[in-house]
Structure 1
C-alpha cells in the first residue's frame, strides 16, 4: 500500500474505509445500510452460514424506487438532474430530473397495475440503453 506525504488525503480515506470493509464487514455494511431508507429494518446484516452464498440484510425490506427517486424529490431535489443520457448514436444529450423520473415511474406502475401485475410478480422488459430503461 502506498504511504507518504505525496499520497493524496482522499486515497488515505479510501484505504481506511476499504480496510474496515475487510476487517469488520458486518459493522461496515451496517453503516452502509444506514444510508438508505428501509421499509422493514434488517435483523442481521450478513449471514455466512451457507458460504459462499452470503445473505445480506436478512429480514430487511427495501423499496429501490423510493430510495433512488422518491426520497430525493421529498428532500427538495426534484428539479435536480437525476440522469444524463449521452447518446453516441444520435449525438444528443438528454437530462432527466427527479421530478420527471417520479412522474414516469408512477405512470408505469399504474399501467402495470392496470394490466394485473401485483406485488411479487416478476416482469421482464427488454429495452435499449435509453433513459426509459431506468424507469
Structure 2
C-alpha cells in the first residue's frame, strides 16, 4: 500500500493536460472530417459550412483560454458531445462499411479512421471534462 502511495505522488496525473490534448485532437479530427465530407460531396462546401468555424473557435477558446475553469469545462463538454455525435450519425443507416458508398471510394481508410479517432478523443474529453469540476472547490471559479 505504501509503495502505491509513493508511486502516485511521484507521478501525479495531469488531467488538465490530458483534457487539453484530447480536446485539441478532437477539434483537429473534426476539421479533418468536415474537410473530407466537403471533398467527397457529402456537404455542399458553400458558405453554410463556415458555421462550423465560430463553433470550433469557441471550443478552441474553451480548451486553451478557459482551461481549468467551469466555463471551460462546460464548453469542452458541449464540443465533445458534438464531436461524439459525428461518428454515431455516420454509422447509422448503411454506415461506412461495405454496404455504404464510402468503403469503395478513394481515401476510405482515412475517412473511417478519422471517425473512430474523433469518437475516441471526444468520449475521453467528455469523461475528463465531467471529472474536472469535481477537482475544483465549490465556489471557486478557477
Q: Taking CA–CA contacts closer than 8 Å with sequence separation of 6 or more, which of the two structures ends up with the larger relative contact order?
A: 2
Whether these two folds match at TM > 0.5 is no
TM-score normalised by length of structure 1 = 0.22
Larger helix share, 1 or 2? 2
Which structure: larger Rg? 1
Larger strand share, 1 or 2? 1
